[in-house]
Amino acid sequence: MASGIRAEVKIDDPPDCVVTQAAAETDGRTHSVSKCTNPAEPERVTEEFILEADSYPDEFDVDADLSPIFSYGSSSVYRFERTLGCGCPCESVERHDCPVVDVRAKGAALYMTFHAPDMRGLQAVIGELRENYANLDVQRLLQSQQDHDERNLVFVDRSTLTDRQTEVLETAHRMGYFEHPKRANAGEVADELDITGTTFTEHLAAAQTKLLDAILDHE
Q: How large is the average pLDDT for residues 10-30?
A: 93
Residues 7-12, mean pLDDT to the nearest whole number: 91
70 burial (CB, 10 Å; 0-12 / 13-18 / 19+) is exposed
State residue 63's pLDDT score: 87
Q: Other CB atoms closer than 10 Å to residue 205's CB: what's the count?
A: 12
Q: Which residue has the higher pLDDT, 40 or 59?
A: 59
Hey, where are the domains in the chain?
5-143, 158-215
The whole-angstrom separation of Cα 126 and Cα 50 is 27
Q: What is the pLDDT of residue 218?
A: 44
Q: Find out whether 210 and 160 touch, Cβ atoms under 8 Å.
A: yes
Give pLDDT tens digits for 72-124.
888 999 999 988 877 789 999 998 999 999 999 999 999 999 999 888 888 89
> Considering the chain, what percentage of its residues have pLDDT values greater than 70?
89
pLDDT score for 66: 93
- Angle 105-107-111 from CA coordinates, rounded to 5°: 25
Average pLDDT value for the chain: 86
Q: What is the pLDDT of residues 112-139, one digit of tens each?
A: 999 998 888 888 999 899 889 988 888 8
- pLDDT for res 156: 62
Of 9-23, 32-46, 152-166, which gets the smallest average pLDDT?
Answer: 152-166
Q: Quick one: pLDDT band at residue 214, thresholds 50, 70, 90? A: low
Instruction: For residue 115, count other CB atoms closer than 10 A to its CB.
Output: 19
Q: Give mean pLDDT, residues 181-195.
A: 91
The pLDDT value recorded for residue 48 is: 95
**How many angstroms separate the CA atoms of 219 and 217, rounded?**
6
pLDDT score for 98: 93
Question: What is the reported pLDDT for 215?
Answer: 61
Q: What is the pLDDT of residues 143-187, one digit of tens each?
A: 765 544 555 555 566 777 888 999 999 999 899 888 878 888 999
Dihedral sign (CA 8, 10, 11, 17) = positive
Q: Is the pLDDT of residue 217 over 90?
A: no
Residue 190 has pLDDT above 80, yes or no: yes
Contact (CB, 8 A) for 33 and 19: yes
